[in-house]
Amino acid sequence: MYKVKLYNNIAQVGLDTFNENYEVKEDLENEDAILVRSANLHDLDYNPNLKCIARAGAGTNNIDIKTCTEKGIVVFNTPGANSNAVKEIVFAGMLLASRDIYGGIAWAKTQESNENLAKDMEKQKKKYAGTELNGKTLGVIGCGAIGVQVANLALRFGMKVRGYDPYMSIEAAWNLSRYVKHDSDVKDLYKNSDFITIHIPLNDKTKDTINKETIALMKDGVKILNFARGGLVNEDDILGALDSGKVSAYVTDFPSPKLVNHPGVIAIPHLGASTAESEENCAVKAAQETMHYLQYGNIKNS
């Protein structure tokens, strides 16, 4: 019997994926595997029997990969399992940054009579007038499972799309289609995009990818979206750029007290992958990978 220790609530369908050879619960010792969503495992007390950690999600920065590597503990994630959810919320963010739907809703809620509503409506239509996505250029930094989906949906919105990814696989390039302009130099993407969305992992090399210098290369009034990791964008630099009007909107899944009250910021509490479907997909895939690894000693990740 293999022991799998849970560190977060995992969708039931994922737990049901394990067969009778697995004991899966939170309260376990000497576990063979760990199944985790976003709990921080950096100070984990590793038991010598631990063979693998399955991350039900994409980013693995809640896990101390260096120590795991030293101890021979394999870490795997569930790439692609939540990319549809993230793709959809990126477009919600782009639409919110282009049309003041939120302001319009707030105004409508304050109206107490039909007469008033009708009287004020024309004024509000002017006040909350926005711009369209159609015809604008979207720059996608990072063309992995999520970036490719975002790029392809942008094309369907009538956007022009530029993509940058120094590590893009042939498969991803193929999926991106000939309608996406592949920038070999990210500066070209910065210079030519009306919207920039970032889909890369956070590490020492990518920290503060969006900073004073990179923002200076961008179009005036650019809108930036970050549904990847907070540390990819330097907060002081984005606030400065919002104040000066260089950046007209920053949509982020990583709210911080410093940012949230700026009128140009749209911040939500890491909801990018929070859909029932995505949680189930990640849980099932993580469970399947865990069973596969414990049984065969290798990673399938397909």
* Residues in touch with ligand MLT (CB under 6 A): 37-38, 57-59, 82, 272-273
In the complex, the smallest distance separating the C-beta of residue 6 from ligand MLT, rounded to whole angstroms, is 15
At 2, list the tokens.
């293999």
- Are 147 and 163 a contacting pair, CB within 8 Å? yes
How far is the C-alpha of 269 from the C-alpha of 252, rounded, in Å?
A: 9
Q: Could you tell me the smallest distance in angstroms from the CB atom of residue 279 to ligand MLT?
A: 9
Q: Which is nearer to ligand MLT, 5 or 37 (by Cβ)?
A: 37
CB of 102 to ligand MLT, least distance (A): 23
Are 80 and 301 a contacting pair, CB within 8 Å? no
Least distance in Å: CB of 215 to ligand MLT?
Answer: 23
In contact, 272 and 85? CB cutoff 8 Å: yes
The residue (of 267 and 273) whose beta carbon lies closer to ligand MLT is 273
Closest residue to ligand MLT using C-beta atoms:
57
The CA-to-CA distance between both ends of the chain, in Å, stands at 25
Give me the least distance between CB of 110 and ligand MLT, in Å please: 35
Cα–Cα distance list, 34 to 7, 62, 109, 276, 291 (Å): 7, 13, 47, 22, 11
In terms of C-beta distances under 8 Å and separation of at least 24 residues, what long-range contacts does 294-300 make, across chains too?
A: 294/2, 294/32, 294/33, 294/51, 294/52, 299/74, 299/76
- The pair of structure tokens assigned to 196 is 């920039």
Q: How far is the CB of 77 from ligand MLT (least distance, A)?
A: 7
For ligand MLT, which is the closer residue by CB, 79 or 240? 79
Q: Identify which of residues 143 and 241 has a Cβ nearer to ligand MLT in the complex.
A: 143
Q: How many CA atoms lie within 13 A of 169 on its CB side?
A: 7
Q: Which is nearer to ligand MLT, 273 or 287 (CB)?
A: 273
Judged by beta carbon, residue 104 or residue 201, the one nearer ligand MLT is 201
